[in-house]
Amino acid sequence: MRVVSGIQPTGNLHLGNYLGAIRNWVKMQDQGECLFFLADLHAISQPHVPAELTANTREMAAALIACGIDTDKSVLFNQTQVPAHSQLQWLLNGTARMGWLNRMTQWKDKAGKNREGSSVALFTYPVLQAADVLLYQATHVPVGEDQKQHLELARDIAQKFNNDFGNGEEIFTLPEPIIPPEAARIMSLRDGSAKMSKSDPSDMSRINLTDDADTIMQKVRKAKTDPEPLPSEKEGLAGRPEAENLVGIYAALEGSSVQAVLQQFGGQGFGAFKPALGELMVSRLAPIAERFNELRQDIPAIDAALRKGAEKASALAQPTLDKAYRALGLLR
């Protein structure tokens, strides 16, 4: 099994990132060959500040290592240091179809009513996503519900390329999705119907991986709830999004089920539950924050780790890129 997955270096990693994706990446390291990349090329598809992108790329690398990504077990790198990503995207642009890209719901959401003013990169970035995974002959790609359509597109591009240019040879492996059963969907602490997000103007809406113990306890204490006690059964959380979110966070951090948490706290109010949740968060996140704050100060070490990963990734990518060039009849 070869797993490939990426994350945009947006800065400000929060609890939702950790429980939703990164913790599962850490577990996957012991289940197969893993390549994890920082999608800095994707980041330039929308307006950005260059100096911030550089800093965020380093900070994201430090955060991933602090969360448990082992650069001896896995290949960790940023896209820009592996030019084969951009090269393969251009080759695949000849196979991808405008109609396919027009149907991408994330394109519609991100462009909104300003499609004419959006960058070409925003429209074509699903082709780069396809290149990201096809380049390494990935067998499996971890995806959330919002990324399933993009993996289906990657499979469509791979299949059409193989049919059109493979001459009986499978140039690209068609990757299968991994939808981890325990991937938690973490919502805002201020609105149980909205995802926890770094773009929320209120810092009280999220738990940042850099928050200290006092900040975590304060945010949990002030998290929005309702006046009712916690139910003893999961069904009792229906229509109570904030309660459901906090119980779900507790279950995810503890590695148990929502039902098990309710058996422990059912009938109790949030005055009892919130301190327990805060203490659990602190115990799980404090070691990560400590390691992250150490790593982020050592820029040469972060740069060296990314270079090492990029060298490994480039070596793995080259055979596939060479096959794609040959299949298209390009003279090199």
Query: Is 195 inside any structural domain?
Result: no
Mean pLDDT (whole number) for 216-239 = 95
One domain for residues 28 and 160: yes
Question: What's the angle, vertex CA 189, arms to CA 235 and CA 254, rounded to 5?
Answer: 60
CA dist 236 and 267 (Å) reads 11
One domain for residues 160 and 303: yes
- What letter does residue 188 receive in the DSSP assignment? P
Q: Residue 183 pLDDT more than 60?
A: no
- Rounded to whole angstroms, the maximal C-alpha distance in the chain is 72
Q: What is the DSSP string of 263-317?
A: HHHTT--HHHHHHHHHHHHHHHHHHHHHHHHHHTT-HHHHHHHHHHHHHHHHHHH
pLDDT at 133: 97
One domain for residues 149 and 260: no
Query: Is 193 inside any structural domain?
Result: no
One domain for residues 210 and 305: no
* Active-site residue identified among 73, 195, 224, 312: 195
Query: Is 194 inside any structural domain?
Result: no
* Active-site residue identified among 198, 224, 274, 312: 198
Q: Residue 108 pLDDT more than 80?
A: no
Mean pLDDT (whole number) for 91-95 = 97
Query: Is 138 inside any structural domain?
Result: yes
pLDDT at 66: 95
One domain for residues 290 and 302: no
Q: Would residue 222 show up in a list of annotated catalytic residues for this protein?
A: no
3-state secondary structure of 38: strand
Mean pLDDT (whole number) for 50-79 = 96
Structural domain harbouring 35: 2-184+298-328
Q: What is the mean pLDDT of the chain?
A: 93
pLDDT at 117: 81
CA dist 185 and 195 (Å) reads 7
Percent of the chain with pLDDT over 70: 98
One domain for residues 31 and 163: yes
Here the CATH number for the domain that contains residue 243 is 1.10.240.10
pLDDT at 113: 74
Here the CATH number for the domain that contains residue 44 is 3.40.50.620
Mean pLDDT (whole number) for 221-230 = 95
One domain for residues 57 and 97: yes
pLDDT at 158: 97
Residue in the structure block whose two tokens are 């304060």: 218
Picking from 133, 130, 179, 132, the residue whose alpha carbon sits closest to that of residue 156 is: 130
* Active-site residue identified among 27, 73, 108, 110: 110
3-state secondary structure of 190: coil
Q: Residue 181 pLDDT more than 70?
A: no
One domain for residues 74 and 177: yes
Q: Would residue 195 show up in a list of annotated catalytic residues for this protein?
A: yes
pLDDT at 87: 98
pLDDT category at 182 given cuts 50, 70, 90 is low
**Are the CB atoms for 186 and 249 separated by under 8 Å?**
yes
Query: Is 191 inside any structural domain?
Result: no
One domain for residues 112 and 10: yes
pLDDT at 109: 77
Question: What's the angle, vertex CA 285, arms to CA 213 and CA 263, rounded to 5?
Answer: 95
Mean pLDDT lowest among 30-44, 109-123, 126-140: 109-123
Q: What pLDDT digit, counting tens, does each position of 3-25 carry?
A: 999 999 987 789 988 988 888 89
**Are the CB atoms for 34 and 28 separated by under 8 Å?**
yes
Q: What pLDDT digit, counting tens, does each position of 251-283 carry?
A: 999 989 999 999 999 999 999 999 999 999 999
One domain for residues 210 and 117: no
Q: Residue 77 pLDDT more than 70?
A: yes
CA dist 244 and 20 (Å) reads 16
Picking from 103, 4, 208, 269, the residue whose alpha carbon sits closest to that of residue 246 is: 269
Q: Would residue 110 show up in a list of annotated catalytic residues for this protein?
A: yes
One domain for residues 130 and 241: no
Query: Is 198 inside any structural domain?
Result: no
3-state secondary structure of 179: coil
Mean pLDDT (whole number) for 45-60 = 94
> What are the angstrom distances between the C-alpha of 263 and each of 232, 260, 267, 317?
6, 5, 9, 50
pLDDT at 13: 87
Query: Is 189 inside any structural domain?
Result: no
Query: Count of domains in the chain?
Result: 2
3-state secondary structure of 221: helix
Query: Is 286 inside any structural domain?
Result: yes
One domain for residues 303 and 284: no
CA dist 327 and 330 (Å) reads 8
